[in-house]
Amino acid sequence: CVDVSKVNWSYSYNRRKLPEENGNDPNFNGLRNRLVPKDWWVEDLCELEIGLYKRVLITIQTKGTLSDEVIGEGLKAYAYRRLPGFSKGMIQCGDAAKYRSTVDTIVCLLPAERGSVPCNFLLKLLKAAIYVDLGDAIKGQLIRRIGQQLEEASVNDLLIHAGEGENMMYDVDAVKK
C-alpha cells in the first residue's frame, strides 16, 4: 500500500498552471512538488459509469480512510458531471431511467454524518428525485436529511417546482415536510 501523502504528483492533467510553470523558470523540471489533496481521485471517478462508481465508493466508505466530507464532495462532483442541468437545480430532458438510477445511487451513497454534504446539494437531489419520479422512501430520506440542516438553506433553495399537471407552480407539500 502506498501512502499518497508521501508521493510527488505531476498533476499533468490539472487545468490550471502554477506561476512557476509559465515556461520562464529555467529550473522548473515539469513536476509539481506539492502534497496530494485528499480529494485527488474525485475527477477521475466521475468518468466511471454509475454501477462501477457505486462499487468503488462502497469500497472507499468501507475502508474508512476518507472523511465523510471528502466522500460527499465526490458525490457532488459526480452529480454535477453526470446529471445535465443539476447545478441549476433541475435535470435536462434525457434518459430518465439512467438519471433515475444515478440519483438513486447518489442518495444511497450519501454519508450518514450530518453536514457531510451541504443542504443546497440535498435540496438539488430532492428536486432531481422528484423530477425522475423516485419512490417516496428515497424522497422521505432526503427530506429528513434536509430537515436536519435546514438552517443552511436559502429561500431560493427551497423553491421546488411542482410536477406537470399540478395546480401550483411550486411543491409546497415537499417544503412543509
| C-alpha span between 124 and 101 (Å, rounded) | 16
What is the reported pLDDT for 132? 86
Cα dihedral across residues 82, 85, 91, 93: positive or negative: negative
- Domain residues for the domain of 46 are 39-176
On whether residue 9 sits in a domain, the answer given is no
On whether residue 102 sits in a domain, the answer given is yes
On whether residue 49 sits in a domain, the answer given is yes
On whether residue 26 sits in a domain, the answer given is no
pTM above 0.75, yes or no: no
On whether residue 83 sits in a domain, the answer given is yes
Q: How many CB atoms lie within 10 A of CB 126?
A: 28
On whether residue 18 sits in a domain, the answer given is no
What is the reported pLDDT for 5? 53
Count of the separate structural domains present in the chain:
1
pLDDT in tens, the chain (177 residues): 555 555 444 444 444 555 555 556 666 665 555 565 666 778 889 999 999 999 999 999 999 888 899 999 999 999 999 888 777 766 666 667 788 999 999 999 999 999 899 999 999 999 888 888 889 999 999 999 998 998 887 777 776 666 666 666 566 566 555
93-101 contacts, C-beta under 8 A, 24 or more apart: 96/132, 96/133, 98/50, 99/128, 99/131, 99/132, 100/132, 100/133, 100/134, 101/50
On whether residue 58 sits in a domain, the answer given is yes
On whether residue 115 sits in a domain, the answer given is yes
